[in-house]
Amino acid sequence: MAYTHVQTFNPEILYAFDPLNEAGNCSKTHSHNFLEISILLEGEADYLVDGSRQDLRTGTVMLFNPGVKHAERQKEGTFSHQLHIGLTNVSLNGLPRNHFPNKRALLDLGCYADAFMEKAWRVTKEFNEQRSEYQLMGKGLILEMLGLLLRSLEDGSDNTLPPALSQTAVRQQHLVNHAVYYLENHHSEEITLEQLAQQLFVSPAHLS
Amino acid sequence: MAYTHVQTFNPEILYAFDPLNEAGNCSKTHSHNFLEISILLEGEADYLVDGSRQDLRTGTVMLFNPGVKHAERQKEGTFSHQLHIGLTNVSLNGLPRNHFPNKRALLDLGCYADAFMEKAWRVTKEFNEQRSEYQLMGKGLILEMLGLLLRSLEDGSDNTLPPALSQTAVRQQHLVNHAVYYLENHHSEEITLEQLAQQLFVSPAHLS
């Protein structure tokens, strides 16, 4: 089963920025209430990730689920060029909102690493150049990057959590996704809660 | 101004298939009530497009807005490999639902042609191989293709229509897009029409 339901999977990109970090740069230990992907485009960085300090090199990819603590610092004589992407409105089958199925933040993309980095560089270029429709191009590229991340996590990875939601929560998730989908596809009509409920085979009280 | 509002722009892919056409293949004149993109990946084809019969070559891209008539036939001694993509739930600023701003179906992608064809081939590969998350990968690629189409239409093209909607209709379009967006981002809460109306600064009667 795919993690995504393609029609209703519509993440919001909160930011995509690519700082150049010089020696002395550092961030305190923090976490987010959304999803963050951090990519070392160039250079090296010292990260607190998965509970320990690690020296990370070019090509490292980290995916921080909500609440996962991390920090970084730039050691003397080093620099790094990183891309950080913040995402919300991420709904994967069987997982809590804005969660990916990885246990550890440090990812091993295996055979998908080169394609992933190529897209990361193109996102960087789009967001820096800001040509017309750059946000749409960025969204397309980021959806592909998420697809590659999910593929790498599905390919017999030991870094994949089993579905975390109860059956009831999964049913609720599907109900909400389909309500949004129905609304998206009936823009031009007048819709009542009764009609929406009828489409979803629930009582209107369920939706109000 | 961009044609797309990136958070709420969420097209649905109705199909993406790539027939191999041999001599004798033909389709009657027809149109769709959605958006169709047709791409000559390989070979040549005889199309009725923009009101006349035309011999089209590898690399030709056509974008049929709803209601735009077209037909094709495969002449003796020729073949073609085409990719057809059907899309609905397409909302561009100032344009009727499922409409792109092109006057003629035959497009000239100029400097975006190579990048567009590369993505068309990758969509073809994804939908034929059907590996995990291929629909998500396809969606990402198709969003990029739409971005390239819009860029080519914005770059001083003589094939671009001015916005067709009235100011009232544009306001209505924004209202609906924002309602969908609000619903998407408040899944887990109980939402009443009153709260939604409050967010959008309209009366609940507007939404029911």
Q: What is the pLDDT of residue A206?
A: 62
The amino acid occupying position A139 is K
The SS3 assignment for B102 reads strand
Q: What is the pLDDT of residue B160?
A: 86
Query: Measured between CB atoms, does A13 come within 8 Å of chain B?
Result: yes
Is A22 or A184 the better-scoring residue by pLDDT?
Answer: A22
Per-residue pLDDT at A205 exceeds 80: no
Pairing of strands A70-73, A26-30: antiparallel
Q: Return phi, psi of residue A16, to 5°.
A: -150, 105
Rounded average pLDDT over B96-118: 95
pLDDT digit string, tens, across residues B130-146: 999 999 999 999 999 99
Share of chain A above pLDDT 70, in %: 78
Instruction: Answer whether B144 sits within 8 Å of A137, measured CB to CB.
Output: yes
Q: Are B42 and B81 in contact (CB under 8 A)?
A: yes
Could you tell me which of B116, B143, B6 has the C-alpha nearest to residue A140? B143
Q: What is the pLDDT of residue A162?
A: 74
Q: Which helix (H) or strand (E) holds A99?
A: none
Q: Interior CA angle at A103 toward A35 and A42, to 5°?
A: 60
Rounded average pLDDT over B97-104: 94
Highest mean pLDDT among A178-182, A199-203, B63-67, B194-198: B63-67
Rounded average pLDDT over B161-178: 69
Instruction: Answer whether A13 sits within 8 Å of B2, measured CB to CB.
Output: no
Residue where the block lists tokens 């990057």: A145
pLDDT digit string, tens, across residues A5-21: 998 899 999 999 999 99
Q: What single-letter DSSP state applies at residue A162?
A: P
**Residue A118, both tokens:** 């190529």
Rounded average pLDDT over A147-159: 88
User: Which positions 49-68 of B are in contact with A (Cβ < 8 Å)?
Assistant: none
Q: Are A49 and B44 in contact (CB under 8 A)?
A: no
Rounded average pLDDT over A78-102: 94
Kindly indicate the confidence band of residue A56, based on its pLDDT and cuts at 50, 70 and 90. Answer: very high
For residue A169, what is the nearest residue in chain B, using CA coordinates? Answer: B188
Give A-chain residues touching B190 at CB under 8 angstroms: 208
CA contacts within 13 A on the Cβ side of A144: 27
Share of chain B above pLDDT 70, in %: 78
Query: Measured between CB atoms, does B118 come within 8 Å of chain A?
Result: no
Query: Measured between CB atoms, does A89 come within 8 Å of chain B?
Result: yes
Q: What is the pLDDT of residue B199?
A: 67
Q: What is the pLDDT of residue B8?
A: 87
Rounded Cα distance, A46 and A27, in Å: 11
Q: Interior CA angle at A155 toward A151 and A158, to 5°?
A: 115
The SS3 assignment for B14 reads strand
- Exposure string of B140-176, with b = 16+ CB inside 10 Å and e = fewer, is bbbbbbbbbbbbbbeeebeeeeebebeeeeeeebebb
Residue of A136, A185, A190 with shortest CB distance to B89:
A185
Q: What is the pLDDT of residue B29?
A: 94
For A123-132, A196-205, B157-166, which range has the lowest pLDDT when averaged over its residues? A196-205
Per-residue pLDDT at B164 exceeds 70: no
Summary mean pLDDT of chain B = 88
Rounded Cα distance, B161 and A60, in Å: 45
Q: What is the pLDDT of residue B161?
A: 79
The radius of gyration of chain A's CA atoms, rounded to the nearest angstrom, is 19
Cβ-based burial of B112 (10 A; exposed 0-12, middle 13-18, buried ≥19): buried
Per-residue pLDDT at B76 exceeds 60: yes
B206 vs chain A: nearest CA distance in angstroms?
A: 9
Q: What is the pLDDT of residue B2?
A: 85
Q: What is the pLDDT of residue A189?
A: 57
Q: Are B179 and B161 in contact (CB under 8 A)?
A: no
Give B-chain residues touching A190 at CB under 8 angstroms: 208
Residue of A89, A136, A143 with shortest CB distance to B184:
A89
Q: What is the pLDDT of residue A160?
A: 86
Query: Measured between CB atoms, does A184 come within 8 Å of chain B?
Result: yes
Rounded average pLDDT over A85-99: 93
Rounded average pLDDT over B187-193: 61
Share of chain A above pLDDT 90, in %: 67
Query: Measured between CB atoms, does A33 come within 8 Å of chain B?
Result: no
Is B69 or B163 the better-scoring residue by pLDDT?
Answer: B69
Q: What is the DSSP string of B157-173?
A: -TTBPPP-S-HHHHHHH
**Residue B201, both tokens:** 């600064």
Q: What is the pLDDT of residue B174?
A: 67
Per-residue pLDDT at B204 exceeds 70: no
Rounded Cα distance, B183 and B162, in Å: 31
Rounded average pLDDT over A44-71: 96
Rounded Cα distance, B111 and B155, in Å: 10
Residue of A9, A89, A141 with shortest CB distance to B136:
A9
A33 vs chain B: nearest CA distance in angstroms?
A: 13
Q: What is the pLDDT of residue B206?
A: 62
Instruction: Answer whether A12 sits within 8 Å of B7, measured CB to CB.
Output: yes
Query: Measured between CB atoms, does B157 come within 8 Å of chain A?
Result: no
Q: What is the pLDDT of residue B202?
A: 66
